[in-house]
């Protein structure tokens, strides 16, 4: 089984981190993975996206032209990448910043108010962790423990004090996606 994911948004929203954590969680789960970032030279405020492939078999190419899942953190990203979804694919979108419904009717669209959820938790910087949780909740791809292991490996012991807030944001995203 192979899952192809595109995560997109503005630079500074943590979209590359979402992709890295999906890839790392896949590695921890014994899968073959690839992660390929793409971003403009302006970084913060510019467009950023990444392609992630999680597979039972070796990954032939990190490029994702047809996605099983698209995670859109802003409207331009949804407008650009919605068309890459395969019929029946999943579009997770940040309804805090996206003020319209997806155009396609042959996909499963899941609105997640990431900014509001993170704000309610008192962790405004955790919008990406809310979306990561929503991804895990809707796909069933990873448990909270695997995601927390991936996050700890990425952030390291120097940022261990942020782990409880990140866990809370991931759990809130999981709950929001399940409905």
pLDDT of residue 61: 92
* pLDDT tens digits, one per residue of 77-96: 999 999 999 999 999 999 99
Superfamily classification of domain 2-178: Pyruvate-ferredoxin oxidoreductase, PFOR, domain III (3.40.920.10)
Report pLDDT digits (tens) over 45-65.
678 999 999 999 999 999 999
Asked if residues 18 and 131 have their Cβ atoms less than 8 Å apart, the reply is: yes
pTM, full prediction: 0.95
- The pLDDT mean for the chain works out to 95
For 3, how many CA atoms within 13 A lie in the half-sphere containing its CB?
20
pLDDT for the residue numbered 11: 87
Beta bridge partners of 2: 55
**So what's the pLDDT on residue 39?**
79
Number of residues assigned to the chain: 179
Domain boundaries, the chain: 2-178
Cα separations (Å) of 66 from 3, 59, 63, 86, 179? Answer: 10, 15, 9, 6, 27
């Amino acid at each position: 089984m192979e899952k192809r994911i595109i995560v997109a948004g503005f630079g500074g929203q943590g979209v590359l981190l979402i992709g890295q954590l999906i890839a790392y969680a896949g590695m921890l789960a014994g899968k073959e993975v690839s992660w390929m970032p793409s971003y403009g030279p302006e970084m913060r405020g510019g467009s950023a996206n990444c392609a992630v492939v999680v597979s039972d078999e070796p990954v032939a190419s990190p490029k994702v032209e047809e996605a099983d899942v698209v995670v859109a953190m802003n409207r331009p990203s949804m407008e650009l990448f919605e068309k890459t979804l395969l019929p029946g694919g999943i579009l997770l979108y940040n309804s805090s910043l996206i003020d319209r419904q997806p155009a396609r009717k042959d996909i499963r669209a899941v609105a997640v108010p990431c900014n509001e959820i993170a704000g309610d938790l008192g962790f405004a910087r955790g919008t990406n962790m809310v979306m990561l949780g929503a991804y895990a909740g809707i796909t069933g791809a990873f448990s909270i423990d695997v995601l927390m292991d991936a996050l700890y490996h990425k952030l390291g012991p120097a940022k261990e004090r942020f782990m409880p807030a990140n866990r809370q944001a991931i759990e809130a995203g999981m709950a929001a996606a399940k409905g």
